Amino acid sequence: MQTLEFTAGPEVEGQRLDRFLTEQCKGITRSALQNLMEEGAALCNGSPAPKRYKVRAGDRVSITIPDPRPLDAQPQDIPLDIVYEDDSLIVVNKPKGMVVHPAPGNPDGTLVNALLYHCAGQLSGIGGAIRPGIVHRIDKDTSGLLVIAKNDEAHQALSEQMSVHSIHRVYHAVVYGNLKEDAGFVEAPIGRDPRDRKKMAVTDNHSRYAYTGWQVLERFGSFTYIACRLKTGRTHQIRVHMASIGHPLAGDGVYGPRNVIRALNGQCLHAKELGFVHPATGEYMQFDSPLPAYFNEFLTKLRKESRQ
């Protein structure tokens, strides 16, 4: 059992307590936190507080996280592309097509299954039974870098860096169309699509602030190769933001055109750069992942076609 404590700043004045805790406890879902709050696990200034309580600047908020239940996920001997590892954390390069954690439809063969085998029990429990050690996620069909916490102290420190947007994350992508400017940004809230609950959308309805900066790396006329720098990390953020300005990701069968590029087997998106302050040493560390084969092959094809 672990108790997490936070002090509310003026920037969150008036925010619902469940939303405040969701933003602070990055490894725990909002629904899981709400369940804990209904059980009286959340305190505000020493007294139990309902999830609808409006936070005030200076409030001392704490929540007690129970010990994780026995894992349903089983260790599996699945090869991992390990970029860095020590006693506190592990940085992996996730391949396209691998799901991060077990879920309906993907009960095994996930990154978590592989981590349980490789780390042999040395993973943070903050993420719960299904997401041990998972600080942040990327989609199944997105490749690239992820950092995983091996203990609760590292998990909490990395989550705090996520909450104040200090973790450096750069993704490379190929989008449809020719962006007019060489650089720009999309600053628009993201929430569940009110017309399709399986999708995300730019919406003001139960949404959260999101910011994606982008820069053109190469132009091909009908496609553009870009780098995206994230300030926030909302579900499907880059995919939703780029689609919202008329430039969906190549290969994206959810937010892109119906005539999807099937040869890409999903969106052309790669988590290329990841940087953070090491939770134990205080040293800033940054990693770079080379573009995978599917991405390079698509760029080669576009370059060839643009010269014709």
Catalytic residues: 139
| Cα 308 from chain centroid (whole Å) | 39
Neighbour order of strands in the sheet with 60-65: 2-7, 60-65, 42-44, 47-48
| Cα 241 from chain centroid (whole Å) | 15
Cβ–Cβ < 8 Å for 279, 88 = yes
Cα–Cα dist 163/20, whole Å: 10
Q: How many CB atoms lie within 10 A of CB 142?
A: 24
Q: In Å, what is the CA distance from 72 to each residue of 75, 108, 112, 120, 130?
A: 10, 10, 11, 15, 7
Per DSSP, the residues of 160-203 read HHHHTT-SEEEEEEEEES--SSSEEEEE--EEEETTEEEEEEE-
Coil vs helix vs strand at 118:
helix
Q: In Å, what is the CA distance from 213 to each residue of 7, 73, 172, 226, 270?
A: 30, 36, 12, 10, 15
Which token pair is 89? 């954390």
